[in-house]
Amino acid sequence: MGNQNVVQRFVEALAERNHEGVADCFAGDIQFRALIPPGLTEAAGSAEATALFMSWWGDSDRFRLISSSSEGIADKTRVTYTIQGREAGEWYACQQQAFCIVNDDKMATLDILCSGFRPIPKLGWA
């Protein structure tokens, strides 16, 4: 139950681009790894992981969560989410697959695989 609870809070904080909400999902000593274009990046600790994670969305002037799902897999939880947004006048879609280990209702590890910002035609929402 706790795993799904923290994953739900994480996705909700992401959807709102809420730095404090994302940070609250991370253990103080979280080990964060992400395979993103152009390569592997890592962060240790909640502050560093939150800053890195949230920096990916900071330049988007339009942003919304399209879908998300999660499920348990042994001692890990998988979460997938798809974002649409606009940055520098260009619309994009981005999907991330993440696996985390949760201890005491906080993410102790988070490993992300990211599609990158994929260009899409202009969307009908503003």
Model confidence over 79-99: pLDDT tens digits?
999 999 999 999 999 999 999
Residue 126 in domain: no
pLDDT at 71: 95
**The dihedral formed by the CA atoms of 71, 47, 36 and 34, expressed in degrees to the nearest 10:** -50
Question: Is pLDDT at 5 greater than 80 in this prediction?
Answer: yes
Residue 96 in domain: yes
Are 76 and 91 a contacting pair, CB within 8 Å? no
- In one-letter notation, the amino acid at residue 83 is I
Q: What is the separation, in whole angstroms, between the first and last Cα of the chain?
A: 36
Residue 69 in domain: yes
Average the pLDDT over 33-46 and give the result.
96
pLDDT at 1: 46
Residue 125 in domain: no
Residue 124 in domain: no
- 95-125 pLDDT, tens per residue? 999 999 999 999 999 999 999 999 998 766 5
pLDDT at 3: 75
User: Which of 63-72, 73-82, 113-122 has the weakest average pLDDT?
Assistant: 113-122
Residue 20 in domain: yes
pLDDT at 125: 58
Average the pLDDT over 30-36 and give the result.
98
Q: What is the mean pLDDT of the chain?
A: 93
Residue 55 in domain: yes
Domain that holds residue 78: 2-119
Report the number of distinct structural domains present in the chain. Answer: 1
Residue 87 in domain: yes
CATH code of residue 61: 3.10.450.50
Considering only CA atoms, which of 78, 24, 77, 91 is closest in space to residue 53? 24
What is the residue whose two structure tokens read 């798809």?
82
